[in-house]
Structure 1
């Protein structure tokens, strides 16, 4: 590599939570959206702000954007006029009426206040650890009487939210320090103060990222509205491009899937522009799921670039149509760190360095931060040294921007700070965004076709080709046919609008992600329930009786995957 040439590195942090709301009542089933906002989205913005010489790309899924705005609005209206908050856990910090001590609902709320990383969050804070240990002791001995009262629930709720606060907030907000020093015996005034802190963070979250984008330090992009796997909506058979023997659902295809794919893209763009004020140039197709037909659709909509895992690249290079590109990359392996063009598609494709991205997601959490960053930079430097045409080289680090950090000490505070700090002044590397780098008009590597797949293993096996996943697809296909018949019969107005949104939630990728025995039973139970509830709601909205099978769980789960199954590595 020329000594004067610096090689660009792009970090694409993917921010995503499915819609946990009941589409009709607005009630939240689970709290993960606002908890990850407080802990991860806040910290990720703060780390970049602390290093103005660095840049990054952030992907916000539209249904996540809507939920973040909804939480900010609910908190504002509670603090200003006492309106009810429609999230049971967050409502524990308000004056809302609670279930009676000893009741099943009371016990359920206590249990939910322990759903945090035991080592990194609960064990870190002595009062929180003691509160949880008391609950553990009672749960392990049925003969013990239960003396837990409302004060105990209040203390648990306060510590649960303190534990989920971002590390940058914990280190800078004196109000948080005082609450932690209080320990136990929290009063309504303490709860209100904590709610005020949460409201400040939530209300400024999207504007904060918008400011980063306006300053040029961040590129903000989007995904299809409810995070569906677009290639599967368009064609189940695309699964077999990477998995020739894959077992597919009984339904031959998803009814009207092409139209639904277009709907998700157009709706997603509308939501994004409404909140950020501009049209994004890039699209992270849900789970990096791409195919020739999906890439054509992204091009038609006007996206300049997209991205996926490098397993998709390797699978594509095996295709006879891509023999020339395969030979080129065999001769110059560094060319895999480039932008790729696919046939006549206007949307360029970047392929994630799966190995390096997964080191951050699955390996470095147990390293000393300085050692982890040093090892990571060493790998980046080796790639940079091998660049035969530095002006066409870009190293892509793409990963979940939230779930990994709870496995790091102090929410990866030291790792992220050291990573940005060392890249900020690195003599051979610099951070940029994809759209900014594309302005340098680099030469692309030409492919004639793309082998359909995702950033997980380069296949769609996480969402289809399993008996339980396929069963869910068949349920959804029938629901879509019933929705279509309701539309043909005259469903219109608010009912049609609500049905469209509810159908979109049913089409999201997350439910299919969690079906399967290899996932943990607690998570499978939650997402299985939510999928069936969303489909049930759809039937209720269109005025049809929900099928009886929706009352029966689809999957139970019994596995113990890495990081609880919330993330998966790029390669098997």
Structure 2
């Protein structure tokens, strides 16, 4: 084995939350943005800060940045528009309405029980008391005291603090040790800490980028599935028999995708001081046309799932090369239309799924040793003089609540072990391309070479989930949701063309439309997802479409009052992630 040969490892953490706001009122309908902020975005920055030789790509979806900025402004102004945070800081919990009591009880046990409730006896006791009253009618809610509600609100937020926060802030440790009978003053201190943590997230990642430790990338603004905006028929490139919506296409999809891309670049530059070099398209959703539209907007690279590459190579009659991933996966590919070109990286689905689903069940060090051994095998078995580039891409937030201590030991030991590894090197997508370009201009007389970038004649449309779009289109509920959106877009086009709105009204309507174009609504529709989550997203999606009609000065159609999907499944990881292997 050539001792100069290196394995180039690109860890890409994708940070995303859909827009949970009612834009007419500004109220947040669900708390997941700020909860993941104080748990996962803080922890992920901390682990990189503690391992300065480690490197990663961190992908921020612009609508997440927008919401983090919104929360920061709420704390600054003292005008909270998140109902749970308002209640955490409320002086009087004795005279809550029945609706407010239900909100606390419906929200504050929605955590992974074995990792986030059961380890804390005081929190579990609150849950056991709740179970005594569950199913006995709403009148029983009045018997729960203000102290019970105060303790429950505190414990919910304590359980959602990151492991790094617990190690860095004495307040969290002291409150967890106290366990119960939390005072109003203590709730205010916890409330203030939450505000500080959220306000510090964007500056922390910007500093990591300025120091050269991370590459920050982006996604089209509201996280739409780009190929489906352009053409529903693209779904048939990977699933020829898939059922499609009644509407033949999404009206004006090319201009809408252009909006999401250009606005994402503006948002990224405003927060981080530079334009992103590349994008992780929403859900790794790519097609030839979508890739070219991103290239035209200055993106050097995109990334997606391994099965998209398999489908693309099959399409190019290169199926013979697919028997072993070592022969095709660990290199970038060039996608071009003759005028524009872009580099496309493909994730190792097996390694990403190990982190996302398997290692949570292992002891931390054993999981790290297995992960590193898997990389070493790729290094040992890859042939030739080229350095293989391995892309491991997954959520930077959803997996960790299933790990002990929010993945603290896995992440800290992984970074520590890899940053000192003799032949595995961290890199980023942008730096890898830079090094390959420099190598091409100034060839070295060593065998330590970049993997050759091969050409893909056609990028077959698909996503990182199964290599197709069945998670977002194809069943009755998802197709119906698309039809409702298409009808709303037709109304939008007519109103805009008729010049019935002033500039401010047009701006609000366009933002509301963009919100409705996000991928997350379609992800949750279907009977394979948990009922509570499906009903929450279904209700919010229909309310957002209704708000769009109102912003257009139109009456919402009555069909928006009819639920689209009920759910009822028991999806792995609560339905927030999908497995590919």
Q: Could you state the TM-score of these two structures normalised by the residue count of structure 2?
A: 0.94
Distance 1:493 1:101, change over 3 A: closer
User: How far 1:97 sits from its partner (Å)?
Assistant: 6.1
1:494 maps to which of 479, 490, 504: 504
What residue is the counterpart of 2:439 in the other structure? none
Deviation digits for residues 349-403 of structure 1, max 9, x if unmatched?
A: 0000001100110111011111111111111111111222454420010001100
2:258 maps to which of 262, 268, 271: 262
The answer to whether the aligner puts 1:570 opposite 2:580 as a matched pair is: yes
The answer to whether the aligner puts 1:439 opposite 2:434 as a matched pair is: yes
The answer to whether the aligner puts 1:478 opposite 2:487 as a matched pair is: yes
Distance (whole Å) between structure 2 residues aligned to residue 390 and residue 177 of structure 1: 52
The answer to whether the aligner puts 1:49 opposite 2:49 as a matched pair is: yes
The answer to whether the aligner puts 1:291 opposite 2:283 as a matched pair is: no
Distance (whole Å) between structure 1 residues aligned to residue 416 and residue 65 of structure 2: 29
User: How far 1:6 sits from its partner (Å)?
Assistant: 2.1
Does structure 2 conserve the Cα–Cα contact (< 8 Å) formed by 1:335 and 1:393? no
What residue is the counterpart of 1:552 in the other structure? 562
User: How far 1:431 sits from its partner (Å)?
Assistant: 1.1
Counting only pairs closer than 5 Å after superposition, residues 344-359 of structure 1 correspond to structure 2 as: 344=337, 345-359=340-354
Distance (whole Å) between structure 2 residues aligned to residue 401 and residue 334 of structure 1: 29
Distance (whole Å) between structure 1 residues aligned to residue 268 and residue 412 of structure 2: 29
Distance (whole Å) between structure 1 residues aligned to residue 507 and residue 571 of structure 2: 38
What residue is the counterpart of 2:271 in the other structure? 275
What residue is the counterpart of 1:224 in the other structure? 220
User: How far 1:341 sits from its partner (Å)?
Assistant: 0.8
Distance (whole Å) between structure 2 residues aligned to residue 99 and residue 245 of structure 1: 58
The answer to whether the aligner puts 1:458 opposite 2:453 as a matched pair is: no
Distance 1:519 1:330, change over 3 A: closer
What residue is the counterpart of 2:446 in the other structure? none
User: How far 1:23 sits from its partner (Å)?
Assistant: 1.0
Distance (whole Å) between structure 2 residues aligned to residue 165 and residue 448 of structure 1: 47
Distance (whole Å) between structure 2 residues aligned to residue 395 and residue 347 of structure 1: 18
What residue is the counterpart of 1:399 in the other structure? 394
SS of equivalent residue, structure 2 residue 221: coil
Does structure 2 conserve the Cα–Cα contact (< 8 Å) formed by 1:75 and 1:195? no
The answer to whether the aligner puts 1:23 opposite 2:23 as a matched pair is: yes
Deviation digits for residues 89-137 of structure 1, max 9, x if unmatched?
A: 1111223665845724312322211111111011111111111111111
What residue is the counterpart of 1:426 in the other structure? 421
Counting only pairs closer than 5 Å after superposition, residues 42-441 of structure 1 correspond to structure 2 as: 42-78=42-78, 84-95=79-90, 100=95, 103-141=98-136, 146-319=142-315, 322-323=316-317, 325-327=318-320, 333-344=326-337, 345-441=340-436
Distance 1:440 1:390, change over 3 A: farther
The answer to whether the aligner puts 1:468 opposite 2:477 as a matched pair is: yes
Distance 1:303 1:126, change over 3 A: same
Deviation digits for residues 216-271 of structure 1, max 9, x if unmatched?
A: 10010000000000100000000000000010000000000000000000111111
Distance (whole Å) between structure 1 residues aligned to residue 67 and residue 491 of structure 2: 28
Distance (whole Å) between structure 1 residues aligned to residue 141 and residue 578 of structure 2: 42
Deviation digits for residues 195-223 of structure 1, max 9, x if unmatched?
A: 22111111110000000000010010000
Does structure 1 conserve the Cα–Cα contact (< 8 Å) formed by 2:284 and 2:303? yes
Deviation digits for residues 146-188 of structure 1, max 9, x if unmatched?
A: 5212221111111111110000111121111111122111112
Does 477-486 or 375-384 show the bigger shift? 375-384
Distance (whole Å) between structure 2 residues aligned to residue 24 and residue 107 of structure 1: 24
Distance (whole Å) between structure 1 residues aligned to residue 211 and residue 384 of structure 2: 30
Does structure 1 conserve the Cα–Cα contact (< 8 Å) formed by 2:6 and 2:424? yes
Distance 1:98 1:252, change over 3 A: farther
Distance 1:152 1:374, change over 3 A: same
Distance (whole Å) between structure 2 residues aligned to residue 530 and residue 347 of structure 1: 36
Deviation digits for residues 328-362 of structure 1, max 9, x if unmatched?
A: 56588333100011244421000000011001101
Distance (whole Å) between structure 1 residues aligned to residue 571 and residue 467 of structure 2: 19
Distance 1:64 1:99, change over 3 A: farther
Distance (whole Å) between structure 2 residues aligned to residue 105 and residue 194 of structure 1: 20
Distance 1:522 1:438, change over 3 A: same
Distance (whole Å) between structure 1 residues aligned to residue 148 and residue 474 of structure 2: 46
SS of equivalent residue, structure 1 residue 48: helix
Does structure 2 conserve the Cα–Cα contact (< 8 Å) formed by 1:392 and 1:444? no
What residue is the counterpart of 1:503 in the other structure? 513
What residue is the counterpart of 1:2 in the other structure? 2
Does structure 1 conserve the Cα–Cα contact (< 8 Å) formed by 2:98 and 2:141? no
SS of equivalent residue, structure 1 residue 171: helix
Distance (whole Å) between structure 1 residues aligned to residue 385 and residue 91 of structure 2: 60
Deviation digits for residues 68-102 of structure 1, max 9, x if unmatched?
A: 01111111222xxxxx3100111112236658457
1:514 maps to which of 519, 524, 529: 524
Does structure 2 conserve the Cα–Cα contact (< 8 Å) formed by 1:99 and 1:106? no
Distance (whole Å) between structure 2 residues aligned to residue 104 and residue 175 of structure 1: 30
Q: Could you state the TM-score of these two structures normalised by the residue count of structure 1?
A: 0.96
Does 389-398 or 497-506 show the bigger shift? 389-398
Distance (whole Å) between structure 1 residues aligned to residue 56 and residue 195 of structure 2: 26
